[in-house]
Amino acid sequence: MIALIMAMSVKSAAQEDSGFSLSVNLGGWPLVEDIIFGGIGLSWDYALERPTLGSIYRDAYSDMKSTGAMAVIGDLPVKKWLSVPLTLSTNLLWQNHSSILTNDTHCDIDGTVQLMSGLRFKYLNRPRFNFYSSVNLGLGVITDSHHTSITVNGETTVKYKKDYDLIPAVQLVPFGLRFGGKIYGTAEIGLGTQYFGGMVGIGVRL
């Protein structure tokens, strides 16, 4: 994906950052999911336990999977060194687990939708690239879905439950790079409820 962004950026003409721009982005693990599940590294606790009946017959969990953070970001320049980003992001995370004792099978599907705005500070502005840092604040919605299948005497009953929670959304980007002309690429590192780690994107100046 990064190679594609760079190839398209090199072909595009260099121009000033003078108008509204729109990009689609893909990032890493959303930090808010770590809060929901109580920590990514909980499985290490299981490995250190002494075998007991409880540990032998505990629920079996599949690998946790995530789409990663997916975002659409609009950016409105205010000054040469300052712009106002508007971010709409989402992600999905899912995991299956089953109970040996009760013969239940569960599928947990969680997702977030976050809307944020903030300030993006740009520096070392050049025709083909600039560096930036940003602070973003907003609100998010967490959806927590539980799909349970219970089999008793050969008959299966399916139960479905869905919960919603409102959360504050915060994303800090200490370092980012934007490069290209009318069609441009971005690469950044950040920490927050939207993602933790890195995010890359491709956009167009309108």
Say how far residue 132 (Cα) sits from the centre of its chain: 20
**What pLDDT is attached to residue 111?**
84
Fold of the domain built from segment(s) 2-205: Porin (2.40.160)
Say how far residue 73 (Cα) sits from the centre of its chain: 13
**What pLDDT is attached to residue 163?**
79
Q: pLDDT by residue (tens digit) across 37-47?
A: 544 443 334 44
Where is mean pLDDT largest: 47-51, 53-57, 142-146, 168-172? Answer: 168-172
**In the predicted model, is pLDDT for residue 75 greater than 60?**
yes
Q: pLDDT by residue (tens digit) across 146-172?
A: 666 666 566 666 666 777 889 899 999
pTM as predicted: 0.72
Cβ atoms of 108 and 95 closer than 8 Å: yes
Looking at the DSSP assignment, which residues form a beta bridge with residue 123?
131
What does residue 34 show for φ and ψ, rounded to 5 degrees? -65, -35
**In the predicted model, is pLDDT for residue 9 greater than 60?**
no
Domain locations in the chain as residue ranges: 2-205
**In the predicted model, is pLDDT for residue 59 greater than 90?**
no
pLDDT category, 56, cuts 50, 70, 90? Answer: very low
Rounded to 5°, the CA angle 197-199-200 comes to 150
